[in-house]
Amino acid sequence: MQTVNIDLGNRSYPIHIGSGLIDQQGLLASHVRDRAMVVTNETIAPLYLDKTLAALGNVPSSSVILKDGESFKNLDELNHIFSALLNENFDRSCTLIALGGGVIGDMTGYAAASYQRGVDFIQLPTTLLSQVDSSVGGKTGVNHALGKNMIGAFHQPVAVIADMDTLATLDERELRAGLAEVIKYGFIIDSDFFSWLEDNMDALLSRDPAATGEAVRRSCEIKARVVEADEREHGMRALLNLGHTFGHAIEAAMGYGTWLHGEAVSAGIAMALDTSVRLGLIDEAIRTRGLRLLERAGLPIRAPSQMTPEVFLKYMARDKKVSAGAVRLILLDGIGRSHVSADFDHSALHATLEHFSG
């Protein structure tokens, strides 16, 4: 087991990464204060719920099983967690345990942020995306019919336990989508990690446990350092949104779930590379190198044909990352170097949108 610590003063916590961690005697229970409520969904419960409850040993624990899917990441479904907690008289000293991907993690985190004005929670992420991204950093929340992640809170977990063994049952497409966020970390901040990914992409695609554990550890380290520097996204944390302004437009315009988030982010990174070339920030060779790695991960580097510049702009203008009316983009200055900008030549952006439209 490897542990990455995230240092946020009295909100600090460990991120444990390794194989067999759910089963590891005492590990999960050591982070529970009193009683535990495991929150999971209909897909994950048959795979990992018994194991998780067994690992809690003699900690008094219950579970609540939600419906599976982004379309159930809403206030109605969230209420099932509160009902279970209240029915069983859980008090403020309880600990919620999120057993699942990013949807379960975000919902459980938000339930923990608001139940009796805030209780502890542990992340047990079971998708690659949630292990490298959503379980770390304390953003929690649910969707509203009028917007994704529009209701939420910053609430840090007390521990993250990423068990590599859970990835064995993950869909191939979900695995690849998670790799998009892994590759993103290399692009924005760490050229050594990018080179490491070039050397290890085949091992990652074949789910080699050592390579996967290393990719998760390095991703969590990068995310931890960024969140430590800027917990509430006033500055540097925005770099984590590379490809996301374009990607969110693709996800929303296609209808959520048609393109997975990571797939849309991959196409979005290809677009950010294109704009960066047009602005003269990077040369063609860097773009080619970047696109090759995304392609090797089996990820899209073109937008869907329905996306015209007009559709892109409509959705991009709605994106949360637009501040004071200006579209903000994460632009690349090289492999491992990036910056946020609202002040760039918009003709380059328009040329990118033209170039990527159907």
**Site residues (CB under 6 A) for ligand NAD?**
41, 43-44, 47, 68, 70, 73, 100-104, 106, 126-127, 129-130, 133-134, 137, 139, 149, 166, 169-170, 174, 261
User: Which of 10, 58, 117, 284 does the annotation list as catalytic?
Assistant: 117
Q: How far is the CB of 351 from ligand NAD (least distance, A)?
A: 29
32 to 55, 58, 90, 123, 275: CA distances (angstroms): 12, 11, 13, 12, 47
Check if 16 is active-site. no
Check if 214 is active-site. no
- Please identify, using beta-carbon distances, which residue of 33 and 173 lies nearer to ligand NAD: 173
Decide if 83 contacts 112 (C-beta within 8 A). Answer: no
Check if 244 is active-site. yes
Tell me the CB-side half-sphere exposure of residue 146, using CA atoms within 13 A. 1
- Please identify, using beta-carbon distances, which residue of 101 and 304 lies nearer to ligand NAD: 101
Check if 31 is active-site. no
- Dist CA 9 CA 290 (whole Å): 36
- Please identify, using beta-carbon distances, which residue of 127 and 276 lies nearer to ligand NAD: 127
User: Which of 237, 251, 278, 328 does the annotation list as catalytic?
Assistant: 237
DSSP-derived secondary structure for 220-238: HHHHHHHHHH-TT-SSGGG
In the block, residue with structure tokens 């979005």 = 268
Check if 143 is active-site. no
Check if 234 is active-site. no
- Please identify, using beta-carbon distances, which residue of 166 and 266 lies nearer to ligand NAD: 166
Check if 207 is active-site. no
User: Which of 31, 139, 155, 278 does the annotation list as catalytic?
Assistant: 139
Say how many residues make up the chain.
358
User: Which of 35, 155, 176, 261 does the annotation list as catalytic?
Assistant: 261
Phi, psi angles (nearest 5°) of residue 7: -100, 100
Number of other residues whose CB lies within 10 A of the CB of residue 258: 12
Catalytic positions, written as ranges = 117, 139, 181, 223, 233, 237, 241, 244, 248, 261
